[in-house]
Structure 1
Amino acid sequence: MTAPLPQALEPYVAGMTWGWTGVRGTWATEDAAESMRLMADHGVNWTALAYSALQDTAQSTQVRFGDAPTVTDDEIVWAIREAKGLGLKVCLKPVVNVADGTWRAHIGFFDQDVPGEPNWGEWFASYREFILHAARIAAAEGCEMLCIGCEMVRADAREDEWRALIADVRAVYDGVVTYNCDKYQEDRLTWWDAVDVITSSGYYPIDAWQEQLDRIERVVEASGKPFFFMEAGCPSREGSPARPNDWALPGGPSGAEQLRYYETMFSACDERSWMLGLMLWDWPARLYSAADAAVNSDYCPYGKPAGAFLRDAYRQRTGGVR
């Protein structure tokens, strides 16, 4: 049903996102090294090193990837080498965020350029510099995968610009190239043929997994491309299984709810032969203490029932091989 898998994805993507949002000064520390070691101890064989660069507003055209609070190049290189030293494969994941808090999915401009107004061409020129800078780091450090965008819903329709960007990336980086579309967008992109692997954010309600996997399966069959979830997970919080994408949902801490979601998600994904794995969200560079796990209501499974489940689930699917 799919094309031959990029060898790097075999036998299974037992992944975890690390380090978000990539705040300068929080990587390349003793705490960060210990955090990554503890993550690797959960059966993980892949990590997405995720960091963000800022633009001022959703209509700004400059991505300020060299400025604080974005991590420095030295910190990025440190994280790649630290992960590889632990036997992990690395997906480098540079992401643009909006400084005023607007979600990146809303970055957008007029469909047709208007004199005096910001436009897509100006934005993509700056975004291209950001992504190519990351691509050169990924190439120099031997990252197995590069994610060239994340949840850019309004930008997804700019097919020509994305194809041109991917061609430029391939001129400097020869690893696996992917794009992380947002939830419910897998069947809306028209340029999946330009990347090596289809990935998306799988924050689907606990009772909607089968329906959404049915929909995604049609995309996988039509594209002939491998697929895994570049993001997926659920906060350890009351009510979160029904709204796993809502990181601010009110509710008390609940490790049981997070575990229930993990069990359902893994079970549903296991039924699909084309599903290559999960890059779960997420593991911070500054990890809370194990003693505080019961009162932590965020996505990280460390010290929670879902963490113990995950360790066993990942090792079972990989045979404990990194």
Structure 2
Amino acid sequence: MKRPLILLVLILLSLAIWTYQNQAAEENIGIVIADKHKGVCWVGSRNPLEGWELDTLVSFGVSHISQTPFGWQGDPNLPEIKWEEHSDKMWWGESLKGMNTTTSIGREKGIESILKPHLWVRGSWPGTISMKTEADWEKWFEQYTAFILYFARFAEENQIPILCIGTELEMTSSREGDWRKVIAEIKSVYKGELVYAANFTEYQQIEFWDALDYIGIQAYFPLSENHNPELNELVSSWEKKSREIEKTVRKFQKPVIFTEIGYCNTEDAAIQPWVWPNERKEIPLSEEVQALCYEAFFQTAWKKDWLAGVYFWKWYPQVRERDPDFTPQNKKAQLVMRSYFSD
């Protein structure tokens, strides 16, 4: 056999072995979730619920809602955090009383809640929180531990099955030792399951997934560089993102929850999904693009055995007619969600 032919055979054999190994690795992750969370991110209401507000969710096959109480940090570089313990100036649905009632109403209708506390940073977002000195880092983690324990105790008292220990705190999560201490404190008062909601740019760098029950991802992955993308492009992007996620799944052997995912009803929804609606006011509206983004997700990542659930941002107790917006309510994306959630 001539040398070029031998070389070609060896190359083809290597490619076959590589393909087999990768397929086997995907098949042998060993995580299979039977009942996925079919969730939406519930918007806490300003006023008490009347009881009918969750009925539509039942008809759309929703099994879970995430409830979000807030803490407030005035400066991303200063350690002071305030929450309900320090002020009663929050909406009813974000208070302990309101969340207790919402949880009870949901359970009566067959909808479970998870608790997802979130820091609201004035003029910024949680991903910018970073202290300038070790002393301030120590103070910040002390403050944050008190904040999250406040809600961990509430979650335990109300038998809420999953607590999210933090959301998009990208500049803090590299401090692995500090976070492991926070997790230990939480476990001393809360016996349910734990997840951390990592930004999509953050989840691969986190090393404390082994201390949690789920890998949480705020799944605002960019899916296209174009306005009005085609479905096949969005599907291809999701397939690529799914392969990247599987690397972390295999490393830590933990299932994934998409703690948030969402798309605006605009032509550019797939380019930078995380961009707020008020920054898209000059962009033409498109229910079609929003619905295609939902469809691409359901055709790909939703089918993965390692995906334990998804929470779509966001769902109002009463429909709000505001454009643009992330909510699928009364839009074509709602029909896509119902189709897969009711399957």
TM over 0.5: yes
Q: Does 1:149 align with 2:170?
A: no
1:320 equivalent in structure 2: none
SS at match of 1:242: coil
Asked if the contact 2:280/2:324 (under 8 Å) is kept, the reply is: no
TM-score calculated relative to the size of structure 2 = 0.81
Q: Deviation of residue 276 (structure 1)?
A: 2.4
1:210 equivalent in structure 2: 239
Q: 1:107 pairs with 122, 129, 137, which one?
A: 129
Asked if the contact 1:27/1:79 (under 8 Å) is kept, the reply is: no
1:127 equivalent in structure 2: 144
Q: Does 1:184 align with 2:201?
A: yes
The C-alpha deviation readout for 1:163-205, integer Å capped at 9, x for no partner, is: 1111111111111111000012221101100101111011112
Asked if the contact 2:72/2:83 (under 8 Å) is kept, the reply is: yes
The change in CA–CA distance for 1:176 and 1:229 in structure 2 (over 3 A counts) is: same
The C-alpha deviation readout for 1:254-282, integer Å capped at 9, x for no partner, is: 21111011011111214533222311111
Structure 2 Cα separation of the partners of residues 73 and 163 of structure 1: 26
1:26 equivalent in structure 2: 46
Asked if the contact 2:78/2:131 (under 8 Å) is kept, the reply is: no
Structure 2 Cα separation of the partners of residues 258 and 83 of structure 1: 27
Structure 1 Cα separation of the partners of residues 158 and 220 of structure 2: 31
Which structure has more relative contact order (CA 8 Å, sep 6+)? It is 1
2:96 equivalent in structure 1: 73
2:178 equivalent in structure 1: 161
Asked if the contact 1:105/1:154 (under 8 Å) is kept, the reply is: yes
SS at match of 2:205: coil
Asked if the contact 1:237/1:257 (under 8 Å) is kept, the reply is: yes
2:17 equivalent in structure 1: none
Structure 1 Cα separation of the partners of residues 123 and 316 of structure 2: 20
Asked if the contact 1:197/1:227 (under 8 Å) is kept, the reply is: yes
Asked if the contact 1:18/1:36 (under 8 Å) is kept, the reply is: no
The C-alpha deviation readout for 1:130-188, integer Å capped at 9, x for no partner, is: 11111111111111110010000001111111111111111111111110000122211
Asked if the contact 1:26/1:286 (under 8 Å) is kept, the reply is: no
1:234 equivalent in structure 2: 263
Structure 2 Cα separation of the partners of residues 44 and 225 of structure 1: 23
Structure 2 Cα separation of the partners of residues 87 and 202 of structure 1: 26
Q: Does 1:35 align with 2:53?
A: yes
Gaps of at least 5 residues in structure 1 are: 317-322
Q: Deviation of residue 2 (structure 1)?
A: 5.2
AA of the residue aligned to 2:296: T
Structure 2 Cα separation of the partners of residues 159 and 27 of structure 1: 39
Q: Does 1:311 align with 2:338?
A: yes
Aligned residues: 296
Q: CA RMSD in A?
A: 1.9
AA of the residue aligned to 1:262: Y
The change in CA–CA distance for 1:140 and 1:2 in structure 2 (over 3 A counts) is: farther
The change in CA–CA distance for 1:4 and 1:239 in structure 2 (over 3 A counts) is: closer
The C-alpha deviation readout for 1:88-134, integer Å capped at 9, x for no partner, is: 12111111111x22111001113x526xxxx1111111111111111
AA of the residue aligned to 1:219: T
AA of the residue aligned to 1:60: L
Asked if the contact 1:15/1:46 (under 8 Å) is kept, the reply is: yes
Gaps of at least 5 residues in structure 2 are: 1-27, 224-233
Moved over 4 A (4+): 1-5
Structure 2 Cα separation of the partners of residues 195 and 123 of structure 1: 21
The change in CA–CA distance for 1:59 and 1:281 in structure 2 (over 3 A counts) is: same
The C-alpha deviation readout for 1:289-312, integer Å capped at 9, x for no partner, is: xxx4xx632111111111111112
Q: Does 1:196 align with 2:189?
A: no
1:14 equivalent in structure 2: 38
Structure 1 Cα separation of the partners of residues 118 and 125 of structure 2: 12
1:263 equivalent in structure 2: 295
The change in CA–CA distance for 1:150 and 1:253 in structure 2 (over 3 A counts) is: same
Identity of aligned residues (%): 25
SS at match of 2:329: coil
Q: 1:302 pairs with 329, 332, 339, which one?
A: 329
Asked if the contact 1:193/1:223 (under 8 Å) is kept, the reply is: yes
Structure 2 Cα separation of the partners of residues 3 and 161 of structure 1: 30
